Structure 1
């Protein structure tokens, strides 16, 4: 019921948008419409340019300069007779320059008021930031869950050329319900990444992340999940739905699913059990010895492959090893495309082990798990690890959940042919002792390493 309401609303909006598509000629005529507060100041600037030119003509005694404007010539000649040229010339020049500055200031002010209604940033700063971000490296970030969205939130301050490749294997929570009831690909991880890349649209981001707490059939669903599900049904697939949502949120970069196939994870545990379903793997609380997906050879999204082929920098993780990071690499074309690239590639290892997935794992164990899932291919040449140990309070809190810091076994990592990047990229909540990667510090370290790797 809730999905159909969203579909009807979006269909109406899309119909209105098509019927009001302006032609190129109409767009030009819009600039002549009254009330824009732009034309008058542009005309004032043009007048200032003209007066400045005339002032220079007076100053250099080149009058008359144009017989077609005889009236102005006569005035200029009288001015030069009454007031010496070395006085009248500079005065007119100064007046013209002031008019130019005034007109340009008001023109830019009118444009800035439209582009930045809040007025918290100058237009020149916006233009410089836009230029800097669009000159940033082409980054491909691969993963899912909260780890990838945390990374993206920091990366977007350094580059607008970001492509997030996200897993579509999620089958729990709101995403799982929509997947079972509507037959759509799970939108949850994609929604988180879109919100993370949103360009300072706080209200829209909060709306996209809003989760319903009441209502028949709505409880537990997020608005963003319902929106993406409705858009998928209207546009025909999740890729087009993401593109439409990206425009609404004005995101920096883009978010792409690794595949449009209905992928389902499976895992074999050390006790012989075979578990199917992403949400069931962690709940099984066993030691994973092998992981795969159904169908086995899902085709990759062509745009995802293109992004990898054009990337300057590839980042894998952070996120749940077996249920967020590896599922993307189970798509054969994705891992093969990454393996072919010679650009800097780095894996961001988790800070803590995860019960049900990586209990007792070291850094080298994380690397081996990825290598094994990729058929022995080495998809990255460096690994980023947290340097500082969490506080005793945090260690105690996580120990109660059978979670511990991921141990850095240096020799084993070096033998696996990976460079080690150590940095303090952790945030610790003093009240809850919750540990997370710090978006800005993580992005800053990753970009610094990329710069060094390029040199």
Structure 2
């Protein structure tokens, strides 16, 4: 509600500014905007020229059809008028006047036409149509990126990547069995939609009301408390369309998603973990709560079939990113699908793993960077990436104390061990720290910029 009031106030200020400045010159800004239409790659100029050619061909066709008689009369009449005008006004004056008048009419007509189109497509006037077209072309020329993971880490990364490319495919785990997703999975039998919902929201336009609605979580009502609207929406769409893949596609259209979100598999996957003390724990949420050291991870069924669209996306990718996210419950579950890991291993494109900033109690306590890498290698039976991104700067002492109380510490970079594993280390400051709560997270934009910079250097 407060965001809506803020937007209304901002629009009121903008309207007052327009009134106060309506008599002041705005020519430089308009000229700058007009020249943007000359930018290469917009696919606008070629169609305008094509239309002009069509007008000439149409005129020629009419002239041929009527045997040129009306056209000849018209040309003779125009010639006489121009001849008389030339005797009164010299040609070196009348010529430029006619030329400038024609150019003015063309320019005025095109400007008003584009203005009318902009008014329909962008009624709020927050962003010029030319800026939308330029951004659209730039994003669609971005690399084909496949991001594999789950949880909040994946959605955080996607929120940054969508500013640099529209060719993004997020492959998401469907092993979640806790919270709202777990309830829907147990009560209705659908695949858990929570991680997918977060990714759809991250790739959508954050300013849209529909995105806020998709993330809305009910706080009252019998059976509704704790459920998010997006989870219920995806569940309903799954029932209507027949499977989760179609439901995601329909939801992506509603949310104007940049890119694509796909489940790793459509099988009802259930995780299991073997702990160092011999216990076998089943269920994604139960594994973390067990509080033991994980020595082996697997799923039931043992070899779930991969989603064909996800396999195709990996095969066509220019760049593959694994993580960030909970190692055993968000990242590795996707790699337990044989077709997924085989498709990744077969690619020679840049492949990088984004390591977590902090260890996670119940999963990776005491883990170093090389421990994270070894866990993925052991689960997959082969190396899947050739570089690892590690955060460089440690959190503040206040955050360290706060995390230490939960048995969590910064992931230690053991350079020598990582080098022996044949991985290149990419060091960068990509952390955001909440000064009030002490929580640390990856910064979406900085993380995306570092990853794309490394891709550009590797790819070139």
Q: TM-score range by the shorter chain?
A: 0.7 to 0.9
2:437 is the alignment partner of 1:432: yes
Q: Relative to 1, partners in 2 of residues 1:200 and 1:66: Cα closer, same or farther, differing over 3 Å?
A: farther
Extract unaligned runs of 5+ from structure 2. Answer: 1-47, 57-70
- Contact 2:170/2:260 (<8 A) preserved: yes
- Contact 1:141/1:316 (<8 A) preserved: yes
| Equivalent in 100, 106, 112 of residue 112 of structure 2 | 106
- Contact 1:144/1:167 (<8 A) preserved: yes
Q: Which residue of the partner structure matches residue 389 of structure 1?
A: 394
| Equivalent in 94, 97, 102 of residue 96 of structure 1 | 102
Q: Distance in 2 between matches of 1:118 and 1:405?
A: 46
**Pairwise CA distance, 1:68:** 3.8
Q: Which residue of the partner structure matches residue 370 of structure 1?
A: 376
Q: Distance in 1 between matches of 2:336 and 2:320?
A: 17
| Equivalent in 223, 226, 234 of residue 220 of structure 1 | 226
What pairs up with 1:5-404 in 2 under 5 angstroms? 67-375=73-381, 377-404=382-409
Q: Which residue of the partner structure matches residue 411 of structure 2?
A: 406
SS at match of 1:127: helix
Q: Distance in 2 between matches of 1:66 and 1:94?
A: 26
Which range is displaced more, 107-116 or 268-277? 107-116
**Pairwise CA distance, 1:67:** 4.6
1:105-146 deviation per Cα after TM superposition (whole angstroms, max 9, x unaligned): 111111122222222222222212111111100000000000
1:255-276 deviation per Cα after TM superposition (whole angstroms, max 9, x unaligned): 0000000000000111111100
Q: Distance in 1 between matches of 2:205 and 2:115?
A: 22
Q: Which residue of the partner structure matches residue 55 of structure 1?
A: none
- Contact 2:204/2:258 (<8 A) preserved: yes
**Pairwise CA distance, 1:66:** 5.5
- Contact 2:265/2:306 (<8 A) preserved: yes
**Pairwise CA distance, 1:201:** 4.4
TM-score (norm 1): 0.85
**Pairwise CA distance, 1:70:** 3.5
SS at match of 2:384: coil
* Pairs aligned (count): 395
Q: Relative to 1, partners in 2 of residues 1:130 and 1:66: Cα closer, same or farther, differing over 3 Å?
A: farther
SS at match of 1:378: coil
**Pairwise CA distance, 1:71:** 3.3
- Contact 2:205/2:211 (<8 A) preserved: no
1:409-453 deviation per Cα after TM superposition (whole angstroms, max 9, x unaligned): 000000011000000000001111110000000000000000111
- Contact 1:201/1:249 (<8 A) preserved: no
Q: Distance in 1 between matches of 2:366 and 2:79?
A: 91
**Pairwise CA distance, 1:200:** 4.6
Q: Relative to 1, partners in 2 of residues 1:433 and 1:66: Cα closer, same or farther, differing over 3 Å?
A: farther
1:294-336 deviation per Cα after TM superposition (whole angstroms, max 9, x unaligned): 0011000000000000000000000000000000000000000
- Contact 1:145/1:189 (<8 A) preserved: yes
Pairwise CA RMSD of aligned residues?
1.6
**Pairwise CA distance, 1:75:** 2.4
**Pairwise CA distance, 1:103:** 1.1
Which range is displaced more, 68-77 or 270-279? 68-77
Q: Which residue of the partner structure matches residue 40 of structure 2?
A: none
